[in-house]
Structure 1
Amino acid sequence: MWTVVMFDLPVVTKPQRRRATRFRNELLNLGFEMAQFSVYMKFSGSRSAVDALAYRIRSRIPPEGNVSILALTDKQYGQMQVFNGGARQERDTSRGQLLLF
């Protein structure tokens, strides 16, 4: 399962820019990767993990922020079509199993 965070934050004033930067950095600290400037993604093991992330993100949203959190199954994520400069880009959708010794 994947957690996708999409947001639109005001950046007109210096304090707003600071809050937007802090929000993006907090997403990175939670393990998200930037897909686009205002779209971040993270692999989550289960629906309960997505819900836990959503709870943690909710407390970090700036006052004027508009944030959407989406949960995608691996199959839905694998069906995503990504284009770079008009050319379709193949994505590595495999998540290898972690082996601990």
Structure 2
Amino acid sequence: MWVMVLFDLPVGTKAERKRATGFRNFLLDQGFAMVQFSVYARFCAGKEQAEAQTRAIERQIPKFGKVSILFFTDKQYENTISFTGRERSAGPKKPDQLLLF
């Protein structure tokens, strides 16, 4: 399952920029990758892990702004079509599976 966080946070003052940067850094520390500016995605092993991630994000959301969290299955996410300019980019790739011995 994939978790995608989309947000629009105020950045008009120095304090707002600091909070927005802190939120972005939190997402990166949690293993999210930037898809586009203000759009971050992360692969989760299952629904329970995605829900735990959502609770962690909820605790970090700044007081003002808008944050949306979307959930996608692997199949839905691999059907994403992306463009850079007018050229088609390679679609998203599922992370390699960890092997434990």
Match runs of 1:79-90 below 5 Å = 79-90=79-90
Counterpart position of 1:12:
12
TM-score (norm 2): 0.94
Query: Distance between the aligned counterparts of 2:49 and 2:11, measured in 1?
Result: 30
Percent same amino acid among aligned pairs? 50
Counterpart position of 1:45:
45
Unpaired runs of at least 5, structure 1? none
After the TM superposition, which segments of 4 or more aligned residues of structure 1 sit over 6 Å from their partners?
A: none
Match runs of 1:70-85 below 5 Å = 70-85=70-85
Query: Distance between the aligned counterparts of 1:61 and 1:96, measured in 2?
Result: 29
Q: What's the secondary structure of 2:83's corresponding residue? A: strand
Unpaired runs of at least 5, structure 2? none
Q: CA RMSD in A?
A: 1.1
What is the Cα deviation at residue 51 of structure 1?
A: 0.8
